[in-house]
Each structure stands twice: as structure tokens, then as C-alpha cells.
Amino acid sequence: MTTAPASPPRRPEAPPALATPMARQIREAPTLRGMLTRAPAPVKVAGALAGLLFFAANAAIGYLVIDGRLDGHWYDFRDLGVAVGELRVWLDDRGLGPWLSYWVTALIGAVGILSFVGGVLLIGTWIERRLLAKFQIRRGPNRVGPFGLLQPLADAIKLVQKEVLIPRGADRILFYLPPVLVFIPAMLAWGPVPWAPTMSYLDINVGLVYVIAISSLSVLAIFIAGWSSNNHYALLGAMRTVAMMISYEIPVSISLLSVALFTGSLKLSAIVGWQSDHTMWLGLIMPFALFTFFFSSTAEINRTPNDIAEAESEIVAGFHTEYSGMKAGLFLAVELGNALLIGALAATFFLGGYTFFGLEQWIPPYLILAVKISAVYFLFVWLRGTLPRFRLDQLMGYAWKFLIPLSIAFMGVSAVEASILARVDLPGLLLIVLVVNAALTVVFVRLWARVVGYEAPRDEVTMPALTTSVGGLRAAQRLRGGAS
Amino acid sequence: MESIGIIVAFWALAVTTVGAALGVLVSRNLLHAIFFLITSFLGMAGLFITLSADFIAAAQVLIYAGAISVLLVFAMMLTPLASRDNANSLYLAPGALAGLGLAAIVGFVAVDTPWAELAGSTLAERSFPDTVRTIGAQLIGRYVLAFELASVLLLFALIGAVVLVHDRAAERGAAAAAEEAGTGPREEAT
Amino acid sequence: MTLSVDLAHYMAVSGLVFGIGVTVALGKRNAIAVLMGIELMLNAVNLLLIAFARFGEAFAGAGEAIAGHTFVVFVLTVAAAEAAVVLAMAVLVYRRRETVELDRINLMRW
């Protein structure tokens, strides 16, 4: 699922010389891969050593702690929560009152989350554009900075310079609010995500309900944006978003309910703990819930197979049509941040969270979670580069006629299985459940698709006849081999 | 046990809640009133958190701020020609009088009743280790009949809302138009 | 420490919100605004229930688990159902009369 697309066939050693200066410039522009492969040997060795040292130190500490020769302290940076906890104890010992340790630890956690999200937001646009360019056989941003790495920064500077327009007749107060408001749920929802056993900002009892509740708030910001713009396209986009979000909240909630049924807890750390105890991912046990969560999330955060809220070809830019400058930039940044958030939530609920079958004891668990987040994010980008946009009525019909009934059916299945699992103690039971669920998924989906009327596409010749006859594909392949 | 944080949080949230509720009363624009109402709901959720009712706070955000407010917004959008303003009726003065009277009664009871005496001790807070589990056990234990009735009520509300807004005339028109156009009848989103 | 927050404070907030809710529900013309007033009143009641569940350990029946929270769950359910039906009615009335102002919906039949 997370593997990169097949690498292109080995390209010829000497590409045909392209005449124009532009082409030469493009060819000579350094790439990340080229930079890495062509780096001088000492740099390579040093980098490899640094990475190895990091992992070796982690593994050594992990070994010592697990072995019992050492109990975990601040130097145990497999879990930064331990260090923060020690800091809290140390501050309490100073006798300055409990509020100081509370505020300091809260601030550390908040800064940690914000810096992670902010840093990935900065680099994320570059990654997304480069990946999309790869999918579309072009190059993507490569001018500003080394391999275009400073492109997001340049974009931000450009956006900040732009004039911030307020349309005539707009509701001025409400018009100012949404770019800020839309950030709040996107950041708050990161709270309960566990990064390591004790490294969670807000590990509350009702984490799952909290996540659903918080993510339902972003609808309001989007609606305010569309309404206050005094623009038909913006209002249409806002209405689409609201209709779609409240439709797709239901399948998300139901699929997460089956997670809660299985794990018997609404606490996110307990959900991850269940998965690591059973050495099984919930996404494998209930593939349909995972699919529902993933697909519905793309609708909730307006990403491409489902981004009808800002369909450029239909309604100019949806709810943020009238926003200019950095305000529009904030909307785009939140969109990316939401994709990361969904990655974190999908990883936590369905893909084992910060655990990876025991590996989390040897390397920092938050790195594992980050890898999973980026894997899901890569999937999002892949979908964006591959799928066309759904039509509005198709999308709503898909939610109401397909996802919701099937989710309810699978919730019933999960309830039965969870009660069986709670009563029967059989070693291989989880595997049986897995197989049964996989079979049920196939059967239910096929049956229900036939009932609803989603038929499989007929066998037709789908060769891109025109493209091949014109020579487009070959030309594309030649360009791809030649220009790099 | 009262820490300064709880006190500050209570006053900030109380002022937010009551102020936003007043905003619903005084704002001239219906949409602004709805957003004031949402702010009031969120402040109320914060007050629930200061009372350590975590599940109820999350449910409050989910149902009031996430669902009911969206319903209100939709209703406002679907009645476009009706006045967008939040005008007062003739009953404002009697209503305000009644509201003030009720608030005064509740406030008087709150201040005048010797809670500590009645309780026999100072009002200690209870701590709830696991509200979700307790609520769930009560819902399908002691209050199971009410729970079932609530689900029936929800079903009736769902069906009732659909039946109410189901536009038969428009559907007949659409069906006729579809027949003319040679396509079958298609479902209509309400 | 005189500066503390206890039951009376929450009761006062609840009373204020309830009073404002009554005023909104009685003093507004628009049906949607009236519904908003009713929601405010329900919220005030919720706050009262939860405050008593929190502070009411020493009262009668305190040995039981937190029934106040369970009641609030029911109130939330009823509020959601009521909002859906009332808004459907508002839309229906608007379709027939082109208004949702309660002062002008004064025919018993049409």
C-alpha cells in the first residue's frame, strides 16, 4: 500500500541533448536523489553513522530498560513523555505550586504538537506538489532553494505580500473569523493522539468522542466563510461542504464505534494498547471500517476524490473564493494539516498507532507513528493524483445508500464478534474473526452494491486508443527518459 | 481543593456563556444570533468540563454545536424570503419580565438555601473515575426503558421530519417532467 | 479561601441562561429564534443537572451512580429530535405561507 510506484525503466546514460537553455537548466537542476547519491563519501558515511548512532542508542537504552538494569528516566528518549513527567516532578519539588508544573508541561506539549504540525505544513506542500508531479510525469517546483525546497516559504512570502480584499457587502466581522476559526479544531484534534506510551497531550477517557466532536466543529468555520463572503459560489461551496460533512460524519462515527466495541474503550491509548496486546491491527480485522473511515475522511477534509466543496471547474474555489492573500493560504494550510490529522487518527485507530509488532521498544514510537502518518498522507496524494472528482449527488448517494447501511451492518457484526471474543478464550480466535470479516466484507459489499445498483463496469476495450495513435504515451515516455 | 485554575476557568466560561446568550437576544441578524448561540453552547461545554463531566461535554459539542446548530443554519437557508432579522415581537417586555423573574427565583434559591447545612457538611465534589462506563451501564441497566423510548422518539422524529417536508406536489411535478424527458423517476433530496 | 466556586455559582449561571432563554423564546418573532431560546433553556437545565450530580454527594440518593449525567443524555436526545421536527415544521410553514414569523401564522387552517 505504501510502496512507491514502480520506478521507471532504467534511463539511457546519455540523454539526447536538448537544445533550449530552459531544457538544459531543467536537466542540470539538482534533484534530491541526485544530491543524495552524488554526495561525497565522508558525508554519506557521517550521515549513515549519525542515523545508526541514534537508533543504536535507542535500542541500547531500550534493552537496558527492558532488561531491568535501568529504570526509565529522562534519557529514555524513546518516550518523551517520561522526560516531561520527570520535569513535572522536579518542578513540583521546587515548591512553586502545582500550577507551574501544569503550565510548563502543557506548554511543552502544545509547542511540541504545534511545531510538528507546523513543520510538516511547511514541507508538506512541497512534498505534495513534487509527488503529484511524479504521478503526472512532470517535475514540480524545483527553482527556489535546493530542489525547490524553499518553494512553500516563497509562496508564503508572496501570499503575505498580497492585498487582503474584503468583498463589498460582506459581513465584515464574520469574514475575518474563519481563517482563524478553521485552525482551532484542526489543532485541538491532535490532543488525544498518543505518540508513545506516556507521550500523549490529552489522554482523556472519551478521546474518541472528543475527536468526533471536535472535527464536527470545522463545519461552522467553513459555513461562516461561505456565508460572509457575499458570493454565490462561496455560498454554494459552503452548503455543499456542510451537507457533505454532516452526511459523512455518520459513517465515520459508526466505523469508529465498531473500533470502540472491539477495544472496549474510548481512550486512544487504550485502543493502541489493545492492538499491541493482540499483535493485530484493527484495520485488518475490520477492513470495511477502515475503508469507510478513510473514504469518509477524504470527504470531510475536502481532498480530491471528494473535494466537491471547492471544485474548481464548477464553483470557483468553493467557500474560500473571496479570500485572498494569506487568508486563502491559511485555508490551504489547514487542508493539509487535516490530511495529516486523518493520517494520525487512521494510524491510531486502525493501523496500530505508535506500535509496530514490538519494534516500538527499540526505536522511538513517535517515529513509527510519523512514518504511518506519512504513509497515509502519501496515499492521500496518490488518490489526488489518480482519481477524478465525484459528482455531488453521487457522493451523497454513496454515503447514504452504500456506506451508512453497510457500516451499520458491520457494526452489528463487530458487536457479535466482540461479545464472542469477550467470552471465549481461544488462541487463534482473532485470526478466525479476521478471515470471517474479510469474507463478509466481500459478500456484503457485492450484494449491497447489486441491491443499490452499482454494477461492475462492463468489459470494454479501455486502451487509450487516441493517445497511442497520436504517440502521446510514447512521447511521454521519451520525455521522461530524456529530460532527466 | 479549589485551585485557582478552576475559578478562573469558571468565571471566563460563565461570562462567555451568559454574554453569548445575551447576544442571541440583542443581535439584529439571525445568523449572528445563531453564532452567538453556538458560542454559548461551547461555553456551556466548558462549564461541563469544570464539573468533570467529560463525556457530556463532548456530547454537548457534538450534538449542540455540531448538529443542532447546523440544523438551524439549514433551516435559515431554506427559508430565505422570511426575514433574516431577529426582530422582537410584542411579547418582548412580558417575556423579559418572566425571564428575569425566573432567573431571580433560581438565583434566590441558589443563594438562600444553606446547601452546606442541608448536606450536613461542606459541599464536596465527587470525582468520577469513569463516567462513560457508568452512564452506559445506567442506560442499559436501570434506565433501559427510557433509553428504548428515546430511540423510538428519535425514529419518530426522523420519520416525522421527512414526512413533514416531503413535497408531494413538487415530486409529482418532477415525476411528470421526468416522464416527459423519458427518464425514470428519481429520488429527491429533501 | 472565600474565592471559590460551588453549587450556588453554577445555579446562578443556569438561572441567568434560563431567563435569557425564556426571554428569547417569548420575545422573538422568528420561529427559528424561538427554537434557539428553547435550546438555551434546555442547556441551562443540563447545567443544573450536572452541577447537582457533581456537588450532590451528601444529598439523598447519593450512593447511586451519576444519574444526572444519564438524564442529560436523555435531554440531549430529546433536544435533537425536537430541533429536527421543529425545523421541518418551519420549512413546511415557510413553503405554504412564505413566512416563519409566528405573529403572522395565525390561521388555524388553510
Q: What is the CATH number of the domain that holds C24?
A: 1.10.287.3510
C110 domain-assigned:
no
- Show me where the domains of chain A are located: 31-71, 162-452
C2 domain-assigned:
no
Query: B85 contacts in A (CB within 8 Å)?
Result: none
Closest by Cα among A189, A239, A217 to B66: A217
Instruction: Report yes or no: A250 and A404 within 8 Å, Cβ to Cβ.
Output: yes
Please tell me if residue A425 touches chain B, with a CB cutoff of 8 Å.
no
Q: In this complex, do B24 and C24 lie within 8 Å of one another by their Cβ atoms?
A: yes
C1 domain-assigned:
no
Q: In this complex, do B89 and C103 lie within 8 Å of one another by their Cβ atoms?
A: yes
Q: In this complex, do B95 and C27 lie within 8 Å of one another by their Cβ atoms?
A: yes
Q: Is B11 in the same domain as B56?
A: yes
Query: B115 contacts in C (CB within 8 Å)?
Result: 6-8, 55
Residue B179: the pLDDT is 61
Last residue of a domain, one of B105, B129, B153: B129
Of B7, B16, B25, which to mutate for an interface test with C (greatest number of C Cβ within 10 Å)? Answer: B25
Residue B188: the pLDDT is 41
Of B2, B28, B31, B47, which to mutate for an interface test with C (greatest number of C Cβ within 10 Å)? Answer: B47
B137 domain-assigned:
no
Beta strands in A172-297 (DSSP E): 194-196, 199-200
**Cell reading at A5:** 510506484
B84 has pLDDT over 60: yes
Report residue B1's pLDDT band, with 50, 70 and 90 as the boundaries.
Answer: very low
Residue B149: the pLDDT is 92
Residue A170: the pLDDT is 75
**Cell reading at B43:** 461555553
pLDDT tens for chain A, 484 residues: list them. 444 455 555 555 555 556 677 777 666 666 667 777 777 788 888 888 888 888 787 777 777 777 766 666 666 667 777 777 777 778 777 777 777 777 888 888 888 888 888 888 888 888 888 888 888 877 778 777 777 778 888 888 888 888 877 888 777 788 888 888 888 888 888 888 888 887 788 888 888 889 988 888 888 888 888 888 878 888 888 888 888 888 888 899 899 988 888 888 888 888 888 888 888 888 888 889 999 998 888 887 777 777 766 666 667 777 777 787 788 888 888 888 888 889 999 999 988 888 887 777 777 888 888 889 889 988 888 888 888 877 777 788 888 888 899 999 989 988 888 888 888 877 788 888 888 888 988 888 888 888 887 766 665 555 555 555 566 666 556 555 654 4
Query: Residue B91 has what DSSP assignment?
Result: T
Side-chain-side CA neighbours of residue A50 (13 Å): 5
Of A205, A217, A266, the CB nearest to B65: A217
Domain count, chain B: 3
Q: In this complex, do C15 and B102 lie within 8 Å of one another by their Cβ atoms?
A: yes
As a whole number, mean pLDDT of residues C67-79 equals 87
Question: SS3 for C101?
Answer: strand
Report residue B29's pLDDT band, with 50, 70 and 90 as the boundaries.
Answer: confident
Count CB pairs under 8 A between chains A and B.
Answer: 64
Q: In this complex, do B62 and A209 lie within 8 Å of one another by their Cβ atoms?
A: yes
Other beta carbons less than 10 A from residue C38's beta carbon = 17
Query: Residue B49 has what DSSP assignment?
Result: H
Q: Is B35 in the same domain as B56?
A: yes
d(CA A286, CA A305): 23
Query: B58 contacts in A (CB within 8 Å)?
Result: 206, 209-210, 212-213
Q: Is B3 in the same domain as B65?
A: yes
B46 domain-assigned:
yes
Q: Is B50 in the same domain as B20?
A: yes
Count CB pairs under 8 A between chains B and C.
Answer: 283
Give the dihedral of Cα atoms A151, A156, A159, A160; nearest 10 deg.
-150
pTM, two decimals, is: 0.82
d(CA A388, CA A166): 33
Of A180, A204, A209, which to mutate for an interface test with B (greatest number of B Cβ within 10 Å)? Answer: A209
Write out the residue range of the structural domain in which residue B164 sits: 143-190
In terms of CA atoms, which chain B residue is nearest residue A103?
Answer: B5
Query: B69 contacts in A (CB within 8 Å)?
Result: 220
B27 domain-assigned:
yes
Residue A477: the pLDDT is 62
Question: SS3 for A134?
Answer: helix
- Give the Å distances, CA to CA, from A294 to A279, A446, B28, B44: 22, 19, 42, 32
A404-423 vs A429-452: helix axis angle to the nearest 10?
160
Q: Is B3 in the same domain as B70?
A: yes
- Where is A291: in which H helix or E strand? helix A287-300
Write out the residue range of the structural domain in which residue C25 sits: 7-104
d(CA A139, CA A125): 14
- Residue with C-alpha cell 474560500? A320
Other beta carbons less than 10 A from residue A207's beta carbon = 25
Quick: pLDDT tens for B150-184.
Answer: 999 999 988 988 888 777 666 666 666 666 554 44
Average pLDDT, chain B: 79
A205 burial (CB, 10 Å; 0-12 / 13-18 / 19+) is: buried
- Give the Å distances, CA to CA, from A81 to A165, A370, A481, C101: 44, 16, 49, 57
d(CA B56, CA B162): 28
Q: Is B95 in the same domain as B81?
A: no
Residues 6+ positions from A356 with CB-CB distance below 8 Å: A368
Domain count, chain C: 1
Q: Is B29 in the same domain as B77?
A: yes
Query: Bridge-partner residues for B88, per DSSP?
Result: C28
Report residue B41's pLDDT band, with 50, 70 and 90 as the boundaries.
Answer: very high
Query: Bridge-partner residues for B29, per DSSP?
Result: B85
Looking at residue B50, its amino acid is: T
Q: Is B15 in the same domain as B82?
A: yes
Q: What are phi and psi of A199, to 5 degrees?
A: -105, 75
Query: A212 contacts in B (CB within 8 Å)?
Result: 58, 62
d(CA A61, CA A58): 5
Of C7, C40, C81, the CB nearest to B40: C40
Strands A194-196, A199-200: pairing is antiparallel
Report the CATH number that the domain containing residue B81 is assigned in CATH. Answer: 1.20.120.1200
B138 domain-assigned:
no
